[in-house]
Amino acid sequence: MSARFFPRIVRSIRHITSTPLKRSSYLIPVGSACVLSFGYATYHNRRHLFNFPTVFAFRSNNGSGDNYGPLHPNFIADVVEMVAPAVVFIEIKDQRRRDYRTGAPITQSNGSGFIVESDGLILTNAHVVYGKPNSIVKVKLQDGREFNGTIETVDIQSDLATVRIPCKDLPILRLGNSSSLRPGEWVVALGSPLSLSNTITAGVISSKQRMSKELGLRDRNMEYIQTDAAITFGNSGGPLVNMKGEAIGINAMKVTAGISFAIPADHARAFLEKRKEGKFVPVAQVRRYLGITMLSLTPMLLLDLQQRHDLPPEVHHGVLVWKIIVSSPAHLAGIQPGDVVTHIDGHAVHSAKDVYRSLESGGEVLDIVVVRRTGTYHLKVKPESTS
């Protein structure tokens, strides 16, 4: 603004305000105009300064042009509603041991599974159904129907098994592509923890390539899916589902709060294909068992046991005894829940597979070394043979 122009503005303002009656009426518009001009300039500059692009944080694309994902508050409920009819509750009952109050067979263990073929084929974990002699496999559907199941195929190496029920036209859950997973994707774990059917937990993928050796599973060569969705013994065998309603994993184990693992769907698909080709040996008709539910010790679980449950620090391998069947060989020999089995007949135990191997190849009586907070114990256990 020039120096000559400024005095003319001042004279104009003096002329406008020389009349008392008009002073206030003219001052307000002039003041307002100044404020508005200043406000607009400030807003205009700040708008450009903070004019970030709009980002749709939850919209993703699967590569085929189909958008999916949590686009509204009830996205998890929608996925559960889609897949829950194909999820089943599996209960293993001992025919030779009965509840003294009800007379019903005692439950040895339970878990979950999901229907992969409409004619009654169910996929689950091997540890849910294998090694349970004199047992009946009970399968309960979401609609309340119950069936006796037949164990068809078991692969201890991958911890996968199939069970068949006599029922047709069942809803199925399709296996997804686990190799395309990305850390941070939403997932839902379905199953029956503590026998509570149709329970769900949600979380995200933490890693899709957690090697079995990192988890202390030396006898397996497989990459596990790590998630913070809660997985327990009850919902192991159930599906880990993505937001498209596909099973991208089979719930397998929990290490500690916020760290759980699932078997990749790609590995399960290969297992089912080998089953069709007849590459698995049929389930043995004569077996020996101890009567325990086991969990392989991972480094994190081992550290948790040492810090919270006074497990001696010199223990570096073994399997954790999670449950004991009453009146079973292990129970009669003095094995207790919380014990860590480190050796059988002088051979180191690193996983459940080592225990199964010792049962099949060992003598009539096994020398089992267990460690608990009070010390190390050598126990003589006579496994029970069943057909």
CATH number, domain with residue 114: 2.40.10.120
| 8 Å CB contact between 124 and 132 | no
Average pLDDT over residues 356-379: 89
Residue scoring higher pLDDT (2 or 373): 373
Can you name the residues that pair with 92 across neighbouring β-strands? 109, 137
Query: Does one domain contain both 18 and 77?
Result: no
Query: Does one domain contain both 255 and 372?
Result: no
Query: Does one domain contain both 122 and 229?
Result: yes
Query: Does one domain contain both 40 and 81?
Result: no
Give residue 263's domain range.
57-283
Structure confidence at residue 357 as a pLDDT band (50, 70, 90): confident
pTM comes to: 0.61
Query: Does one domain contain both 188 and 327?
Result: no
CA atoms of 149 and 137, how far apart (whole Å): 5
Query: Does one domain contain both 255 and 295?
Result: no
Which of 242, 262, 283 delimits the end of a domain? 283
Which of 14, 31, 49 delimits the end of a domain? 49
Query: Does one domain contain both 65 and 30?
Result: no
Instruction: Indicate the SS3 state at residue 243.
Output: coil
| 8 Å CB contact between 137 and 145 | no
| Rounded-to-10 torsion of CA 245, 146, 117, 277 | 130
Is residue 171 over pLDDT 60?
yes
Domain with residue 311: its CATH number is 2.30.42.10
Residue percentage of the chain with pLDDT more than 90: 36
- Judged by average pLDDT, the poorest of 175-184, 332-341, 358-367 is 358-367
- In order of 65, 157, 256, 345, 348, the CA distances from 351 in angstroms are 44, 10, 18, 15, 9
Query: Which spans in the chain are helix H?
Result: 5-16, 20-49, 75-83, 126-129, 265-276, 299-308, 329-333, 352-361
**φ, ψ dihedrals at 185, nearest 5°:** -70, 145
Residue 114's nearest CA partner among 171, 176, 196, 159 is 171
Query: Does one domain contain both 39 and 90?
Result: no
Residue 189's nearest CA partner among 141, 261, 107, 137 is 261
Query: Does one domain contain both 173 and 278?
Result: yes
Q: What is the CA radius of gyration of the chain?
A: 33
Residue 92's nearest CA partner among 147, 146, 132, 141 is 132
Cα of 183 vs its chain's centroid, Å:
14
Q: Which residues are catalytic?
A: 127, 159, 236
Structure confidence at residue 44 as a pLDDT band (50, 70, 90): very low
Instruction: Indicate the SS3 state at residue 384.
Output: strand
Show the 3-state SS of 296-320.
ECCHHHHHHHHHHCCCCCCCCCCEE
| CA atoms within a 13 Å half-sphere pointing along the CA-CB vector of 108 | 26
What residue has token string 């941070």?
A: 184
Question: How high is the mean pLDDT of the chain?
Answer: 77
Query: Does one domain contain both 261 and 362?
Result: no
Query: Does one domain contain both 75 and 205?
Result: yes
Q: In the chain, how many domains are there?
A: 3
Query: Does one domain contain both 135 and 257?
Result: yes
| 8 Å CB contact between 220 and 157 | yes
Query: What confidence score (pLDDT) does residue 240 get?
Result: 96
